[in-house]
Amino acid sequence: MLSRDEMSALFKIGVHAADPAQAVISGLSQCPGLAPSHVIAFGKAACAMARAALDHLPAPRHALVVTNPENAAPVAGAEVFTAAHPVPDERGLRAGRAVMKILDKTTAQDRVLALVSGGASALLPAPVPGLSLSDKAEVSRLLLAAGLDITAMNAVRQHLSQLKGGGFLRRAAPAPVTALILSDVIGDDLRAIASGPTAAPLLPRAQAVDLLHKAQLWDRLPEQARAALTRPETDAALPEARNILIGSNAKSLDAMAAARKDALRDPEPLVGDVTEAAQRVVARLRTGPGLTLMGGETTVTLRGSGRGGRNQELALRVALALDGQAGWRFLSAGTDGRDGPTEAAGAIVDGDTCARIRMKGGDPVALLANNDSFAALELAGDLLITGGTGTNVADLQILSVDK
């Protein structure tokens, strides 16, 4: 069975494989002669992506970066904005306006390079006319609390933004756009990553409305959000873009598998409700000994007032299901280094996790019921804290079972 240190090291190999700077350099090799007049980077990996691009390209007329505070760093030659994630704030609104100001002035002689990474749906809000930032934030909170997956959430959010669902392309036209994209979406659908700023919408507005009705969210949306989602579709054709995928969850799993030849890679992504995902992990453990690598992005339905994230809740659910059973260890963590609104990337749990929680006076069942996985795993000493990694390709899991 892998030790905690060995698990953490293997996770870091997966994170390193999504290194945004190396990914950008590789992407630029597919664009010989590219000399953009504008470089705009947005997402959790934006600083590293922008730095690599600016180091390997002629100096652009404008360079702008939008990222979260944990991953913010100076970028020579660029203006850096920080903004909130996962619920948008005024800082993001200012950043969105700055991006639109640049794009609205482009001409056919300009060239735009977009550097896109996960998190940009929240980091770069640009509400459609008539929709306030507070309305947009309330929609994000409702979608997050309902446990919708990232594709479903972005199918709604892109219709409420002037920059998503191809809006970036429309603002930049007639300037051609090249986008280097680091995927945090399982399956790598370019329409879903960062809500598709350089791709077509995931769904027509009417289908997004149907999705909200099925999730029983429609009547809870702010009035202006409902109005925006029921406006007629635009008939204007979407300008073309050159979209290049430069990193993904699958690439990180490939690197981990290469480092551990004895590992089995689960071919099915670990997605969907965290309760069902935990059952899958437990079922895999019961098939026998060995090392299994997984990747994906689960969802959590909020019913309590505690703190945590999808990886911590997944880990705690597995620990409860296998409480007291020896001979296994499980890691689940976000490649961005931040799981939910906490400083933890995720957790590493084993058969004694719940016993350690109880020894410190906690009740793991009650804490889970309150969505307080962070508090539970902090009592156990099982949190995995890496700090911001500067990248984001969803989540990675490692399951080790004794022979």
For residue 281, give the 3-state DSSP assignment.
helix
Q: pLDDT tens for residues 307-344?
A: 999 999 999 999 999 999 999 999 999 999 999 999 99
Residue pointed to by tokens 């339905």: 301
CA distance 351 to 330: 10
pLDDT of residue 236: 87
DSSP string covering 100-164: HHHHTT--TT--EEEEE-TTHHHHS--BPTT--HHHHHHHHHHHHHTT--HHHHHHHHGGGBSST
Strands in 147-223 per DSSP E? 177-182
Q: What is the CATH number of domain 19-247?
A: 3.40.50.10180
- Tokens 């950008």 correspond to 24
Asked if 194 and 117 touch (Cβ cutoff 8 Å), the reply is yes
Tokens of 273: 């409700």
> How much of the chain is in helix, strand and coil states, percent to nearest 5?
40, 20, 40
CB 112 within 8 A of CB 38: yes
> What does the pLDDT read at residue 403?
78
Domain extents for the chain?
4-11+250-401, 19-247
- Cβ neighbours around 264 below 10 Å, total: 15
Q: Check residue 390 and give its pLDDT.
A: 87
Closest CA to 50 of 115, 95, 120: 115
At 71, is the secondary structure helix, strand, or coil?
Answer: helix
Beta-strand pair 328-334/290-299? unpaired
Task: Please state, in angstroms and rounded to a whole number, the distance separating the CA atoms of residues 332 and 248.
Answer: 17
Handedness of CA 158, 160, 166, 169 (dihedral sign): negative
Dig out the tokens for 138 from the structure: 């309330």
pTM: 0.86
Q: May I ask the CATH architecture of the domain 4-11+250-401? A: 3-Layer(aba) Sandwich (3.40)
Specify the pLDDT at position 270.
96
**What is the residue-level pLDDT of the chain in tens, covering all 403 positions?**
999 999 999 999 999 999 999 999 999 999 999 999 999 999 999 999 999 999 999 999 999 999 999 899 999 999 999 999 888 999 999 999 999 999 999 999 999 999 999 999 999 999 999 999 999 999 999 998 898 888 999 999 999 999 999 999 999 999 999 999 999 999 999 999 999 999 999 999 999 999 999 999 999 999 999 999 999 998 889 999 999 999 999 999 999 999 999 999 999 999 999 999 999 999 999 999 999 999 999 999 999 999 999 999 999 999 999 999 999 999 999 999 999 999 999 999 999 999 999 999 999 999 999 999 999 999 999 999 999 898 999 999 999 999 7
Tokens of 189: 């659908």
Contact yes or no for 175/198 (Cβ under 8 A): no
